[in-house]
Structure 1
Amino acid sequence: MTHTPHRLAEDFPDHSADIAALRRSDAHFARLAEEYDQINDDIHLSEINVQPLEDMEEVLKRKERAKLKDAIYAMLTRARL
């Protein structure tokens, strides 16, 4: 565990321009990205003990973050086709 936030543009550096464009042009993508950012921030704050979460809550948030990341990646790869 690195205790650093997972930003989408850092996780998908080859797609950073697509991420920015889709945040502006696709409301569904923007909602997913915002939800990802919020969950990611919650996890990060828990990791650094600023706002700790119960163990199960953190596990569930990590699973939700992974699910959102997969959905975002699918949209990014379709945007390139």
Structure 2
Amino acid sequence: MELLNHDLAHDFPQLIGKIRSLKLSSSRFLHLFNDYDTINHAIIKIEQDGGAIGDVAMEDMKKKRLKIKDDIYQMLIAG
């Protein structure tokens, strides 16, 4: 099975400059960015290595990742 790339730079290539800028100017954005990166890498590791995690736990992780991504996107498109 081919895994999808969920890195923010891949999902929002048109907003890379804004991502870099907000990482430097907004501690909230930086916190969200780091949280997203952490959970995204954890999901990738589980998917690639076939880690021992239940379907419900994996689904919860993916929902959390999506919520963080939505919060990040809202900051990116604001003002």
Scaled by the length of structure 1, what TM-score is found? 0.87
Residues 5 and 41, structure 1, Cα contact 8 Å, conserved in 2? no
Q: Give the distance between the partners of 2:11 and 2:55, measured in 1 at CA.
A: 25
- In structure 2, what residue type is equivalent to 1:45? K
Q: Where does residue 41 of structure 1 map in the other structure?
A: 41
- Which sections of structure 1, spanning at least 5 residues, go unmatched? none
- Residue 53 of structure 1 deviates from its aligned partner by 2.5
- Residue 70 of structure 1 deviates from its aligned partner by 0.5
Identity of aligned residues (%): 35
Q: Give the distance between the partners of 1:50 and 1:25, measured in 2 at CA.
A: 38
Detail structure 1 runs of 4+ shifted over 4 Å in the superposition. Answer: none
Does 1:32 find its partner at 2:32?
A: yes
Q: What is the RMSD of the two structures over their aligned residues, measured on CA atoms?
A: 1.5
Q: Where does residue 59 of structure 2 map in the other structure?
A: 59
Partner secondary structure for residue 53 of structure 1:
coil
Deviation string, structure 1 residues 16-36 (Cα, Å, up to 9, x no partner): 010011111100000001000
Q: Give the distance between the partners of 1:36 and 1:11, measured in 2 at CA.
A: 13
Q: Give the distance between the partners of 1:50 and 1:5, measured in 2 at CA.
A: 17
Deviation string, structure 1 residues 42-68 (Cα, Å, up to 9, x no partner): 100011016442222111000000001
Scaled by the length of structure 2, what TM-score is found? 0.89
